[in-house]
Chains A and B, each alone.
Chain A
Amino acid sequence: MSRISMEQVKHVAHLARLAITEEEAQQFQHQLDQMISFAEQLNELDTDQVNPTSHVLDMKNVMREDVAKPGLPVEEVVKNAPDSKDGYIRVPSIIE
């Protein structure tokens, strides 16, 4: 019995903006369950008094002078876009 339901798998796929087939959902259910069981070995460790490390270097916010610099040319920026017109990138309509 998987600890992750099909509903959860589909919810996660929606959050990840990933279309999945019914067959893929079953496969992910199995594989996620395996990986999560594997990850649960971390619970053997008592980490109540341990601070999380998000980053290995002892760094705080890095600031620089706020100086205006030229940006990239618009025609360059849109050249990789699948659909563009007059320097704008086109997507399916968002508002009805």
Chain B
Amino acid sequence: MSLFEQKVSELHERLHKKEISVTDLVNESYERIGQVEDKVKAFLTLDEENARNQAKQLDDQLVKGENEGSLFGMPIGVKDNIVTKNLRTTCGSKILENFDPIYDATVVQKLQQAETVTIGKLNMDEFAMGSSNENSAYQATRNPWNLDYVPGGSSGGSAASVASGEVLFSLGSDTGGSIRQPAAYCGVVGLKPTYGRVSRFGLVAFASSLDQIGPVTRTVEDNAYLLGAISGLDPMDSTSANVDVPNFVNSLTGDVRGMKIAVPKEYLGEGVGEEARNSVLEALKVLEGLGAEWEEVSLPHSKYALAAYYLLSSSEASANLSRFDGVRYGHRTDNAETLIEMYKQTRAEGFGDEVKRRIMLGTFSLSSGYYDAYYKKAQKVRTLIKKDFEDVFEKYDVIVGPTTPTPAFKIGEKVDDPLTMYANDILTIPVNLAGVPGISVPCGFAANGLPLGLQMIGKHFDESTIYRAAHAFEQATDFHKQFPKL
């Protein structure tokens, strides 16, 4: 049995009893990577020498009783858009092929305080733009449950590495579903925290008003531990919120009696597959059996979320990605005489098709004469979508639905049609627009053997309640105890 089939709390107990060492945990990671990585292709960069040295150092601390970090000795993978000092960070893009960051993201500093061990950097769609990892400039990560299928995206490497047992857990980022969708496709637990819960300092920005870093784990309990370690106000990120960070693990009581669950009819209607719908209805029966109550509600502006999202996120991206100009870091073209030519040619050579497409859409919707009709209109629609959630949360504790309309699709199936690819995110995008937290937990398997995810959405800064509901559901089912055969 893999060590990573155990939880942080169990591994900590075994470390404490000296049954295992941190070196054993790090060995487990690299051995598993040696066995399955050529199939799964989750990692872009490994940090083996540093990880092994750190393991030795932590084992020395363990002997002295100095194992104080909340995630002491736990092997973690980090999505490749989170900067790590002296460890190559590419964002899945050719333009940053040799980028060697000169500082650590705040979440990486927090992981160091928690005493995790970083195993390596995880593959992603270029600059987090994509739902399949096919937009990575380097490799297409595979779904560990069936290697012909996508792992989801953009945090595909984060989900596939956890599902295949290469690391205990990982960090991803979520702008329109990029943690929850791959977690659903790979049968693991992924949370997008409330906007502002986790510092974005050192997260290479895609859409600044939507991006959040969050944990990908096997169990809800480990997810709660990892979120606790990375949360909190950061003076380096003026959009990080000055709110208390509760002990999320304390919320995992197993008790959901009297919990009021809202099920939006739009999340079970048109465009949502039968298997996803049925798995949610089965999950609601489980929650009902545990004493929760559910009712159908409406989030009437849901169908406008996708269009608003693509305008807003592409506009923000077109501004954020202007920093990649070949001057201070990254690729610079050899084929230019003037400065402007240098910018244009560098960006043409460095960016992939999807990134260019979104820069073009964003630049267009921010350009003179179109700003009000597209960008500002989308911001107004965002207000309506946010209000939909506020109205429902006046009466209910949690919103429940599928994470994705279908299970994972085949590699190559949607790559030529951007709009069909985007439609995959209709159930996750509204959550980012409203800024509320959402989690995906495994809730079954489709007929083709691929996992399905249950999405639970909470009020601003109320991750505790969705963790409580997700944990109670997880404990009443055994989907999280099944592992892909690789």
Contacts A/B (CB < 8 Å), 10 sampled = A12-B360, A17-B344, A39-B374, A39-B378, A42-B304, A42-B381, A44-B304, A72-B103, A91-B339, A92-B339
- Residues of chain B in range 345-389 having any CB-CB distance to chain A below 8 Å: 345, 347-348, 351, 356-357, 359-361, 363-365, 367, 374, 376-384, 386
CB closest chain-B residue, reference A9? B360
Q: Does B192 contact A (CB under 8 A)?
A: no
Binding site for B on A (CB under 8 A): 4, 8-9, 12-20, 24, 28, 31-32, 34-36, 38-39, 41-45, 47, 50-57, 59, 62, 64, 72, 76-77, 79-83, 89, 91-94
Contact between B342 and A18, CB atoms less than 8 A apart: no
- Complex-state Cα separation, A60 to B235, whole angstroms: 15
Residue of chain A at shortest CB distance from B417: A34
A55-B239, A57-B435, A79-B102 given; 16 more Cβ-contact pairs under 8 Å:
A4-B364, A14-B344, A18-B351, A19-B341, A31-B418, A32-B364, A36-B374, A39-B307, A41-B304, A52-B376, A53-B386, A56-B195, A56-B434, A80-B100, A82-B327, A89-B328
Which of A18, A31, A80, A91 touches B344 (beta carbons < 8 Å)? Answer: A18
Most chain B CB atoms below 10 A, which of A34, A45, A59, A82:
A82
Residues from chain B with a CB closer than 8 A to the CB of A35 are: 310, 361, 418-419
**In the complex, A77→B103 CA distance in Å?**
10
Q: Could you tell me if B376 and A17 are in contact, using CB atoms closer than 8 angstroms? A: no
Q: Which residues of B contact A12 (CB under 8 A)?
A: 360, 363-364, 367
Binds A, one of B38-46, B330-338, B397-405: B330-338
A79 to B: closest C-beta gap in Å = 7
The residues in B between 83 and 112 inclusive whose CB is less than 8 angstroms from any CB of A are 98-100, 102-103
**Complex-state Cα separation, A41 to B99, whole angstroms:** 41
> Contact at A17–B347, with CB atoms within 8 Å?
yes
Q: Contact between B377 and A82 (Cβ–Cβ < 8 Å)?
A: no
Contact call B347/A28, Cβ cutoff below 8 A? no
Distance in Å: Cβ of B325 to nearest Cβ of chain A: 7
Using Cβ atoms and an 8 Å threshold, which residues of chain A touch B325? 17
Q: A35-B418, A57-B241 are in contact. Are A82 and B367 (CB under 8 A)?
A: no
Which residue of chain B is the closest to A77 with respect to CB atoms?
A: B102
Q: Which listed residue (A44, A56, A94) contacts B386, Cβ 8 A?
A: A56
Q: A54-B379, A92-B338 are in contact. Are A13 and B332 (CB under 8 A)?
A: no
Is B326 part of the contact surface with A, judged by Cβ < 8 Å? yes
Question: B322 interface residue, CB < 8 Å from A?
Answer: yes
B320 lies within 8 A of chain A by Cβ:
no
Interface of A is mostly: loop
- Hey, which chain A residues are within 8 Å of B307, CB to CB? 38-39, 41-42
- B336 engages A18 (CB within 8 Å): no
When distances are taken between beta carbons in the complex, the residues of chain A under 8 Å from B306 are 38
Task: Tell whether A19 pairs with B347 under 8 Å between CB atoms, given A52-B376, A72-B102, A80-B100.
Answer: yes
Neighbouring B residues of A92 by C-beta, 8 Å: 336-339, 341-342
When each residue 181-209 of chain B gets 1 if its CB lies under 8 Å from chain A and 0 otherwise, what string results? 00000000000000110000000000001
B238 proximal to A (CB < 8 A) = yes
Q: Which residues of B contact A57 (CB under 8 A)?
A: 195-196, 239, 241, 435, 460
Q: Are B235 and A17 in contact (CB under 8 A)?
A: no
By the criterion CB–CB under 8 Å, are A91 and B308 in contact?
no
Given contacts A89-B328, A91-B339, contact A16 B239 (CB under 8 A): no
Point out the residues of chain A lying under 8 angstroms from B337, CB to CB. Answer: 92
Q: Judging by beta carbons under 8 Å apart, are A53 and B102 in contact?
A: no
Given the contacts A12-B364, A54-B209, A57-B196, A18 and B359 also touching, CB distance less than 8 Å? yes
Whether A18 and B347, one on each chain, are in contact in the complex, defined by CB atoms closer than 8 angstroms, is yes
